[in-house]
Structure 1
Amino acid sequence: MGVQVTGAAGRTGPVRRGVALARATHLEPALAVSAVAVLLAVAAGVTPGRTVLVGAAVLAGQASIGWCNDWLDADRDRAVGRQDKPVVQGVVTPATLRTAALTAVAVAVVLSLLLGVVPGLLLLVLVASGWAYDAGLKRTALSPLPYLTGFGALPAGVVAAAPGTPAAPWWLVAAGAALGGAAHVANVAPDVADDLATGVRGLPHRVGPVPSAVAGAVLLGAASLLLVLGPAGPPSALERAAGVLAVPAVVVAALAGSPRARRLAFPAVLLLTVLDVVLLVAGGAALG
């Protein structure tokens, strides 16, 4: 399955292969999602040791999703000339990515379940959602579903890792799902032409860039407002500052809807997500 590149990877030094493998995890979003999980664990009162375990489990799961994506999409990436992809450059082979993806998902399962059955299974919903997206849901009108379910389950799993296995507040789960939906729109936007050329038609492709961008902005703004207004009591100064971050949703809408600036949309969503959670933690919102 995928493009078999012979010889090229074998002539590549171990350092370059290591860097290429790290890049193939989709490193920036993998680190951003892991950072959000760690910050939420701190806010939820998860013990330090288990917080490290949460971060490691989420990072392993995100790495597996990235490697799975580049493994399964090797033929498509080569067909459209994605020279930013290490597998297309011949630095790593699809077989190597397959092995890495399967190893990482096994590590993610073990680390997640070490947190307990409930938090472990909830964290693994995010992993399963990512694999389902890569395996085919991205080609259907249900393409937002893995993002909505996976990122809704993430805060639920992190909070459940706290002592007593508490349930996450509804507003935190809703905010996670909304951020996931916005991330889907922003993630798809730069690759619409390549996707259409290779037969990928998710929901954003079907409804068009401008309606998708508007929907993404609404979801992003809604997530920011949920994180401000959801916690009990009047919003603190820091939480009000988080509310101000809803304003960039309009900018993200313009970025995702504009052909010239679409590649900035996904990093903008990631940055806003991390800032939202940082302010949530700093504001002392009770998550457990």
Structure 2
Amino acid sequence: MDQQRTTGSPVPALLRSAHAGPALAVTAVAGLLAVTAGLPPSTSALVVAAVLTGQLSIGWSNDLVDVRRDRAVHRADKPLATGEVGVGVVRVACALALVATVPLSLACGLVAGLVHLLTVGSGWAYNLGLKSTAWSWLPYAVAFGALPVFVTLAGTPGELPPPWVPLAGALLGVGAHLVNALPDLDDDAATGVHGLPHRIGARRTGPAATAVLVAASVLIALSATGSHRWLSWLGLPLVVVLAAVGLRGRGRTPFRAAVAIALLDVALLAGAR
């Protein structure tokens, strides 16, 4: 039942329901990869637009699928659960974003577009059921691994990145999944969500996220071939320090350290080629 209770503009709540922070972060990563890959401005704009609409559709579909669970545990950070925005409004926004993603993706090239649609499909597969299985990490690995492939294939001529690039992206995706799940483990478990982080437990999820993200850092440092390769080597000691802080920390410290490593890995990956 639609529990909308506000009469003001639904836009702020609608954006929060789209998980705007993560959506904009992934979009910014795509834009950064496009710039470092040397794509023309027009192509970079298409890449950014396609990724943004795709991420918005994933965010909105996530809240639509989870609305009953979120209401059951009284999630105050979920606009659909609190009634700040109506289910119908989010459905329309989600549908429009998804429809827009298809032509925007294909405008980047047929193969590139299909690769990007695979990343979006992975996000939807997570929302529609994989999040509650031991394979919850897989959509993140596929989506983050495929993102740099989409960007380089969008170039003229399109080309595949070195194999280590999508592998590093996949490791980042798995790390992102573990980090993202940490704050909500109890609420998720209470409503029947039992993905990989829930199965290994909160005590192990933080260290596991740190280990995966450090592995991504090492892979990037060892494989970097660009003119800024030295940045990867300079960043590696900082990753080690953050990992030590995360592993020894308590409370939200492991979460914050893992997020910092993930952000640093993104920067290293962008400057590694």
TM-score, normalised via structure 1 length = 0.87
The counterpart of 2:174, out of the listed 181, 195, 205, is 181
Aligned to 1:127: 120
1:27 has 2:20 as partner: yes
Q: Of residues 101, 108, 115 in structure 1, which corresponds to 2:101?
A: 108
Q: Deviations over 1:176-207 (max 9, x none)?
A: 00000000101111111101110000011111
| Aligned mate of 2:200, from 200, 207, 219 | 207
Given the alignment, which residue of 247, 263, 271 partners 1:271?
263
Structure-1 residue corresponding to 2:243:
249
Shift >6 Å, 4+ stretches:
none
The answer to whether residue 3 in structure 2 is matched with residue 5 in structure 1 is yes
Shift of 1:53: 0.8
Q: Does 1:170 align with 2:172?
A: no
The CA distance in 1 between the partners of 2:83 and 2:255, in whole Å, is: 24
Percent identity between the aligned chains? 46
Q: Which residue is 2:47 aligned to? A: 54
Q: Which amino acid aligns with 1:236?
A: R
Aligned-pair distance for 1:271? 2.9
- Using the alignment, how far apart are the partners of 2:171 and 2:93 within structure 1? 30
Bigger relative contact order, structure 1 or 2 (CA pairs below 8 A, ≥6 apart): 1
Is 2:213–2:262's contact at 8 Å kept on the other side of the alignment?
no
Are 1:148 and 1:180, in contact at CA under 8 Å, matched by a contact in 2?
yes
Q: Distance in 2 between matches of 1:42 and 1:251?
A: 32
**Distance in 1, Cα, partners of 2:215 & 2:42:** 33
State the SS of the aligned residue for 1:246.
helix
Q: Are the structure 2 counterparts of residues 93 and 254 from structure 1 closer, same or farther at C-alpha, using a change threshold of 3 Å?
A: farther
Q: How many residues align?
A: 272
Q: How well do the aligned residues superpose, as a CA RMSD in angstroms?
A: 2.1
Q: Which amino acid aligns with 1:271?
A: L
Unaligned runs of 5+ in 1: none
Name structure 2 gaps, 5 residues minimum. Answer: none
Q: Which moved more, 1:205-214 or 1:146-155?
A: 205-214
Which range moves more in the overlay, 261-270 or 241-250? 261-270
What are the within-5 Å matches in structure 2 for residues 51-90 of structure 1? Answer: 51-90=44-83
Q: CA deviation at 1:168?
A: 1.2
1:27/1:250 CA distance change after superposition, 3 Å: farther
Q: Any conservation in 1 of the 2:164–2:219 contact (CA below 8 Å)?
A: yes
Q: 1:226 to 1:44 in 2, by over 3 A?
A: same
